[in-house]
Every structure is written in structure tokens, then in C-alpha cells.
Amino acid sequence: MKKASLALAVLAASTSAAWAQSSVTLYGIMDAGIRYTSNANAGTSQRQLIPGGMSQSRLGINVTEDMGGGMKALANIEHRLNSDTGVPSSVNASGVNDFWRQAWVGLQTNAGIVRLGRQYNVLFDAYAATLASYKYSPFAEIFKPELGMTLGARQDNMVKYSFASGGLSGSLQLSAGEATTNNKSAGGLLKYASGPFAVVGTYLGVTDSSGKKATATIVGATYTAGPAHWNVVYATNKFDTGSLLQASITGSLGANAGGAAYNALTNDVSKRNMFQAGVSYQLTPQLNLGTSLYLVDQTPQTAGRAKSKLTLWSAVADYAFSKRTDAYLEADSSSFNSAGVARFANGASKRTGVTLGLRHRF
């Protein structure tokens, strides 16, 4: 009996191995930096250890099963954490630690990929994959104003279909609200790339739990010539009165970039525009340089209230010790340049920051 059971077990193992090959990959990033910020606390500067200057620290698992014939099963779960304390890096709309930032299962065929679960939306995909502020690292985690235009960057309960054919690629997403906040969505992305040139356009509409809608449109282009890479992007958000997504830019600008002050009137935003232009340059195989400028304006819903404007700038020098470990120096500035916007808590209209950090990918 024991011999028969052993034979059956060996046969089952060899049979499954013959038609399906699975792989499970553990991956992650650990990033920490020392940061100086001017006008941080009632007119005084601030020095702190931050849990990520260029990247949010994370730990994830990718699963792939090759089922033959061009078909693969896919799955991903990813946790974000603060490297200075070890705690989860975000809190969701219910005030609970948001442990899994991604959690989805998918199927890849010759016709494309379908993913189901919590995942990045098409607006985030446009920035991270094509319109990144820095080609070698999509954006600086400590200063990422473009992500404020992505209506939350992720949606729960999502079905996303992605395809690629030659230089043309795209995605469609749908997500059910299921009575939760900010998750009912529909949108798409279309990209064309040819040689050194790429252009992308995307649209997304998101309805919050109160039935209020927010929409976003992002269009941009990139051009690469040798070690130089340029990008130009225009993004716009529109909000229904009372939309819970009006303050979406706050978390991405953060206190360092003036987000909290910029959104003092978080429930009085009709339209928000952002123009972005940047360049990255690979000076040596190890050293990458980059800079990006962001011009933001925000129109209030209250009649007679002035439009607010914000000028943002960042620059990064990144030195790679190896394929996995790099050090970086980041500098940024925020400037309110209109009477219609609230100032920082200390009344200042400008703030600057400098971060020196270390990052390891595994």
C-alpha cells in the first residue's frame, strides 16, 4: 500500500511538471534618507530620517505559472512599509492600516493580460511606465506631485485588460464601487512608441461612495536621444461638488511640497491642471541626473474665490554602486504664487527640501 501511494505521488508530481512550470519570486525595496526641510515648523527648519526619498519601501511576491501555448497564470501581493519604523506606510479611508497595496490574480494569453483585484489604475500606469519624471526611477517618493493627478493611483475590485501589438499598447479598466469609497471606475490608456519617441493618452472616471464623480485626463510624450531623455505632460482633473477625491493631490505633495496648505479648501475644487516638463541624463554608467518642473493651477467651485497657483521643482543625482544598490541626492522647492491659495502653517509662501538617501532593491 505504501509503495502504491509513493508511486502515485511520484507520478502526479512528474505529470504536473510536464505541463506547467511555476515560479514564486520574492522582491522588495528598502529605502531611507536624511532630509532637511525649510519652513517646516512655525518658521523653523526640520531635520529627520524619512522612510524613503526615492522609493517607498516594500515587500512583494510575484507568482507565474506557465501553462503552455502562450498562456500563463499570474498573481501578485505587495506590502508597503516605513523603513524608519517598520509600520505599514499608509492608512485607508476607514483609518485602518492599508497593508496590501496590491493584491491581484491574472491570466496572460496571446491576446493580452487580464488582472482581477486591487491594482494600479491606468493614470498611474501612464506616469510610471512612460511619463516618469526620472527615467531611471519613475518619481521621487518624497516629492511626487504628478501622482496627485491620478485619483488615488489604485482602485479596489478592479478588472484590467492590457494588450501590446508592435508599437501600440493599451489598457482598459473597470471597477465596482461595492459601497466602498472612491472605487467605482472606468477608463483606458493608449500608447504608441516608435524608436526614441513615445506618446500616451489616458482617461479615467471615478465615482465615490456618495455618488460624486471625478475625472482625469493625461496626455504626454517622451523622446530619448543617447543618454538624454525628455518628457512633457499635461494632466487635468475635474470634480463634482462634494467629491471625496478633491483632496487627492494632498498625499502626493505632502507637507514637504505644500500639499496640506495647497488643499486647505479641499472641498472647493472644480478643476486642477498640471503641466510638467523634465529631462534625465545618464552622465556615466553609474551616475544619472534629472530635473523636473511642475506648474499647477486650481479653480475653486465658490464663485468669486481666486484661482490658486503653485510652482514646483525637483532635481535628483543618483549613483549606482551596483545593479541593486544606489545612493541619491534630491532637492525640491514649492512656491505659492497667487493670493488665492493658503500659505504654509507658518505663513511662508516657499519651502525647500534636500534629501540624501540609500536604496537597495532585491
SS3 content of the chain, % helix, strand, coil (to 5): 10, 55, 30
What is the rounded CA–CA span in Å between residue 211 and residue 248?
A: 17
- 220-230: average pLDDT: 97
CA angle 173, 254, 252 (to 5 degrees): 15
Closest to 233 (Cα-Cα) out of 222, 220, 223, 224: 220
pLDDT at 313 over 90: yes
The answer, as to whether pTM is greater than 0.95, is no
pLDDT at 354 over 50: yes
pLDDT at 52 over 50: yes
- Window from 12-16, 202-206, 295-299, 322-326 with minimum mean pLDDT: 12-16
**Would you state the pLDDT for residue 16?**
45
**Would you state the pLDDT for residue 172?**
98
H or E element that contains 362: none
Residue 86 binned pLDDT confidence (cut-offs 50, 70, 90) = confident
- 192-212: average pLDDT: 93
Can you read off the three cell numbers belonging to residue 88? 505599514
Question: Which of the pair, 181 or 77, is modelled with greater confidence?
Answer: 77
The residue type of 54 is: M
What is the rounded CA–CA span in Å between residue 90 and residue 78?
A: 13
pLDDT at 18 over 50: no
pLDDT at 329 over 90: yes
Residue 91 binned pLDDT confidence (cut-offs 50, 70, 90) = low
What is the rounded CA–CA span in Å between residue 14 and residue 223?
A: 49
| Region at 151 (left for phi over 0; alpha for psi -120 to 50; beta for the rest) | left
What is the rounded CA–CA span in Å between residue 204 and residue 350?
A: 32
Residue 151 is given by DSSP the state: T
CA distances from 348 to 31, 190, 344, 345 (A): 30, 41, 5, 7
Residue 90 is given by DSSP the state: -
**Would you state the pLDDT for residue 266?**
54
Residue 318 in contact with residue 31, Cβ under 8 Å? Answer: no
- The structural domains of the chain, ordered by start, are 20-361 (2.40.160.10)
Closest to 130 (Cα-Cα) out of 31, 224, 228, 248: 224
Question: Which of the pair, 261 or 45, is modelled with greater confidence?
Answer: 45
**Would you state the pLDDT for residue 309?**
82
> What is the percent of the chain with per-residue pLDDT over 70, rounded to a whole number?
81
- 34-62: average pLDDT: 87
> What is the percent of the chain with per-residue pLDDT over 90, rounded to a whole number?
54
- 187-204: average pLDDT: 97
Residue 17 binned pLDDT confidence (cut-offs 50, 70, 90) = very low
- Model pLDDT for residues 107-166, shown as the tens digit of each residue: 999 999 999 999 999 999 999 999 988 988 888 888 888 988 998 888 889 999 999 999
